[in-house]
Structure 1
Amino acid sequence: MSHTQIDYSQLFRLDGRTVVVIGAGSGIGRESAQALAAQGAHVVVADYSLGGAEATAALITQRGGIAEAYEINVLDDDAVVAAAERFGDASALVFTAATNVRKRMEDYTLDEFDRVVNLNLRASFQLIRHFGTRFAANGGGSIIGFASIRAQVVEPGQGVYAATKAGLVQLAKTAAAEYGAQGVRVNVVAPGVVETPLTAQIKANDEWYGAYAQKSALGRWSRPEELAGAVVYLASDASSFVTGSTLFVDGGWTAIDGRFTPPAS
């Protein structure tokens, strides 16, 4: 992108570029895949569930977009290496896959600890370094992970999940430092509370759901599609000088206290 002749009408366009979205079978990943395709990207719709990936790819192609479904288990190291080899010439990687076990630390089993850490942190590490190495060899690219407000603020029962998300933030910063000279940018999006399958347990409890809605400055939960713009931004030339950063899309959750609105005077 020339600094003297920028066509701002094309700033967010991704025509002729391939973007790999892992976790695109549902939720935020599915919405992000559709948004990227709408900007002209060839989207590799990757998911543990091939059926979910195929359903998302169908949504894209029905609207004239370009997509292909790809089955991947990110807990399988060989599968991650193979994906990086196959799609190493992509311009961006997005990964949203995560899990959570809501338990106080004293009640956690080590099997549960391993399950959350392996998917949220270990798999992220593998994706970042294998795709980062390939992107670096190919002249650059953008890697976009999903952290959480829990990387910064916590509540009882969020210990291991929060630790993995804080860990992902630091992995992304380090990868940004290590691959930056080769033109690879690495950033994370940090959502607040989003209506996805991962939060169904909370939505089922009216008091819990309402408390979370009131915690944000906007007074509500976010919808998965409200994260898609951040993904498009970080995948596109609009963010060409953005790396090692955390983009909070949390409705103001981390900005305000939220527990009480005092009188103004």
Structure 2
Amino acid sequence: MTSIDYSHLFGLQGQRAMVIGAGSGIGRESALALAAHGAALVCADRDAATAEQTAADVRATGAEATSLRLDVTNQDDVAAAAAAYPDLAVLVFTAATNVRKRIADYSLDEFDRVVNLNLRSSFLLIQTFAPVMAANGGGSIIGFASIRAQVVEPGQGVYAASKAGLVQLIKTAAAEFGPQGVRVNAIAPGVVETPLTAQIKANPEWYGAYAQKSALGRWSRPEELAGGVVYLASRAASFVTGSTLMIDGGWTAIDGRYTPPA
């Protein structure tokens, strides 16, 4: 007979979680969801005001939350954050950027900007926080990749490459830190209504075309990603590491589909 209390499978009581990018979008909803399951939150963002607003919203629910201004491209900032929260059990990072241009039109400055935020900073976060978690006996690190790590389109080359690199980095981190109890996973969203996709939403034809690419026929909302974050952070995913959780409404399952006439 099992001794597991499945009613608390997703409980995060007594654990501290840091969400980077908590000021808006997926990061904000992830922070609220983790707090709702008992975690004490550190709401981190490059924008201190939005980070504090999310922390205030978490505290309004009765949960514990602090805010932190954090530039993930700055090595000193990341080191200071790890030193300030040595008891961190969950790390979620969502920060990303994109420059939609074809390869021939890209400047090296644009390349560096996308890769530095999407991949270099992810490397820095894992490199800094994973050993701290390992020293404490384990933890969960969750990075946000994208369907573009698997399927691409013109104008997405550098973004797609950075997200594919992140997936492989996460797999390697899972292998290296797994023996110390640190689980490292990725979430790969499809199209989500966030500030990063505002350019698409402003174009009805483009917006509608993307909606029809998923099996559900619509875009996702940021709060629809939060369940995956809670799952990967919790004991429900205690044997899950090195994986990529697709939350894309079926986009990659049916990409390129044709529905023949009846």
Question: In the alignment, is residue 161 of structure 1 matched against residue 162 of structure 2?
Answer: no
Question: In the alignment, is residue 260 of structure 1 matched against residue 255 of structure 2?
Answer: no
- For residue 118 of structure 2, give the secondary structure of its aligned residue in structure 1: helix
Q: 1:241 maps to what in 2?
A: 239
Q: 2: distance between equivalents of 1:129 and 1:257?
A: 34
1:45 is matched with which residue: 43, 46, 64?
43
2:79 is matched with which residue: 67, 78, 81?
81
Q: 2: distance between equivalents of 1:79 and 1:69?
A: 14
Q: How does 1:8-157 map to 2 (within 5 A)?
A: 8-157=6-155
Is the 1:104–1:157 Cα contact (8 Å) retained in structure 2? yes
Q: 2: distance between equivalents of 1:129 and 1:75?
A: 13
Unaligned runs of 5+ in 2: none
Q: 1: distance between equivalents of 2:105 and 2:71?
A: 28
Given the two structures, how large is their TM-score scaled by the length of structure 2? 0.98
Q: CA RMSD in A?
A: 1.0
- For residue 215 of structure 1, give the secondary structure of its aligned residue in structure 2: coil
Q: How does 1:158-197 map to 2 (within 5 A)?
A: 158-197=156-195
* Amino acid aligned to 2:54: T
* Amino acid aligned to 2:52: E
After superposition, give the CA deviation of every residue in 1:21-73 in whole Å (9 maximum; x if it has no partner): 00000000000000000001001000000001011011111111211101100
After superposition, give the CA deviation of every residue in 1:189-219 in whole Å (9 maximum; x if it has no partner): 0000000000000000000000000000000
After superposition, give the CA deviation of every residue in 1:158-189 in whole Å (9 maximum; x if it has no partner): 00000000000000000000000000000000
Q: 2: distance between equivalents of 1:216 and 1:176?
A: 29
After superposition, give the CA deviation of every residue in 1:218-243 in whole Å (9 maximum; x if it has no partner): 00000000000000000000000000
Q: 2: distance between equivalents of 1:257 and 1:156?
A: 15
Q: 2: distance between equivalents of 1:113 and 1:5?
A: 52
Is the 1:190–1:249 Cα contact (8 Å) retained in structure 2? yes
Is the 1:20–1:44 Cα contact (8 Å) retained in structure 2? yes
Is the 1:214–1:258 Cα contact (8 Å) retained in structure 2? no
- For residue 51 of structure 1, give the secondary structure of its aligned residue in structure 2: helix
By how many angstroms is 1:258 displaced?
4.6
Given the two structures, how large is their TM-score scaled by the length of structure 1? 0.97
Q: After TM superposition, where is structure 1 displaced by more than 3 Å over at least 4 residues in a row?
A: none
Is the 1:216–1:258 Cα contact (8 Å) retained in structure 2? no
By how many angstroms is 1:262 displaced?
1.2
Is the 1:88–1:134 Cα contact (8 Å) retained in structure 2? yes
Identity of aligned residues (%): 74
Is the 1:217–1:258 Cα contact (8 Å) retained in structure 2? no
By how many angstroms is 1:257 displaced?
2.8
- For residue 242 of structure 1, give the secondary structure of its aligned residue in structure 2: coil
By how many angstroms is 1:260 displaced?
2.4
Size of the alignment, in residue pairs?
262
Q: 2: distance between equivalents of 1:6 and 1:210?
A: 45
Q: 1:204 maps to what in 2?
A: 202
Is the 1:94–1:143 Cα contact (8 Å) retained in structure 2? yes
* Amino acid aligned to 2:46: Y
Q: 1: distance between equivalents of 2:37 and 2:255?
A: 37
Q: 1: distance between equivalents of 2:261 and 2:55?
A: 51
